[in-house]
């Protein structure tokens, strides 16, 4: 079984509490024995896949095995990144806690997407504009996108994973989940 879930802000990518005030996956009524494939930080939102199939996590997400599917993110960042900042993101090599990020795709979303407001809302700064960029990575280190955008001078205000491989988040509402169809599994190569 493969499940697509739109993880809301403030929810941990685990079923057991960690002592923080954050909610867990346990409250969303998932079938027994499913576990998250990969993670999203509590303050990140978007597509989280869950499964009860052994080995699926490695096949879907591990770039070291040569089978990692790209993950696409929309990051709302401070200011509007220019071509130079986007090129630095795409080139890779940004150091993240002793690790150098792999090359990725990075682009300014044009037109800027209309995204349902988050609760709580992001901080608003009257004199500092914000913009949405797209990033496609084949790896997922702890807080990687946030650290990468900060390293090029554009801190992330909001982060939304919108696709894993060819499977999009689409219009799935925050806090809702669906079982992935056989056709979509085939498109993912699963």
Q: At what angle do helices 83-91 and 144-151 cross, to 10 degrees?
A: 130
Q: Where in the chain is the domain with CATH 3.30.70.1560?
A: 70-164
Q: Where in the chain is the domain with CATH 3.30.70.580?
A: 1-68+167-190
Q: Are strands 71-78 and 177-179 parallel, antiparallel or unpaired?
A: unpaired
Q: How would you label 128-139 residue by residue, b for 16+ Cβ within 10 Å and e otherwise?
A: eebbbbbbebbb
Residue 81: its H or E element: none
Cα distances from 153 to residues 80, 109, 150, 175, in angstroms, run 10, 18, 5, 32
Q: Is 138 helix (H, G, I), strand (E, B) or coil?
A: coil
Give residue 63's pLDDT: 57
* Predicted TM-score (pTM) of this structure: 0.92
The closest alpha carbon to 51, from 186, 173, 190, belongs to: 190
Catalytic residues: 41
Q: Give dist(CA 22, CA 42) in Å, integer.
A: 7
Q: What is the pLDDT along the chain (190 residues), one digit of tens a residue?
A: 999 999 999 999 999 998 889 999 999 999 999 999 889 999 999 999 999 988 777 777 665 655 567 899 999 999 999 999 999 999 988 988 888 999 999 999 999 999 999 988 888 888 889 999 999 998 878 889 999 999 999 999 999 999 988 889 999 999 999 999 988 888 777 7
Q: How would you label 8-26 residue by residue, b for 16+ Cβ within 10 Å and e otherwise?
A: bbebbbeeeeeeeeebbbe
Class of domain 1-68+167-190: alpha beta
- Of 3.40.50.620, 3.30.70.1560, 3.20.20.70, 3.30.230.10, which CATH number belongs to 70-164? 3.30.70.1560
Give residue 184's pLDDT: 85
Give residue 165's pLDDT: 85
Cα distances from 132 to residues 84, 114, 185, in angstroms, run 16, 10, 29
């Amino acid at each position: 079984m493969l499940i697509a879930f739109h993880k809301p802000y403030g929810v941990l990518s685990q079923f057991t509490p960690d002592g923080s005030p954050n909610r867990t996956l346990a409250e969303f009524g998932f079938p027994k024995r499913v576990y998250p494939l990969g993670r999203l930080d509590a303050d990140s939102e978007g597509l989280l896949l869950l499964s009860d199939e052994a080995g699926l996590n490695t096949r879907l997400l591990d770039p070291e095995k040569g089978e990692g599917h790209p993950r696409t993110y929309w990051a709302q960042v401070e200011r509007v990144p220019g071509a130079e900042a986007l090129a630095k993101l795409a080139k890779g090599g940004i150091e993240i806690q002793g690790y150098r990020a792999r090359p990725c795709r990075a682009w300014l979303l044009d037109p800027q997407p209309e995204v349902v407001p988050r609760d709580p809302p992001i901080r608003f700064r009257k004199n500092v504009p914000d913009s949405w960029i797209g990033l496609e990575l084949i790896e997922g280190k702890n807080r990687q996108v946030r650290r990468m955008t900060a390293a090029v001078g554009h801190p992330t205000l909001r982060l939304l994973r919108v696709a894993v491989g060819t499977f999009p988040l689409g219009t799935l509402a925050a806090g809702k989940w669906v079982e992935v169809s056989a056709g979509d599994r085939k498109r993912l190569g699963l």
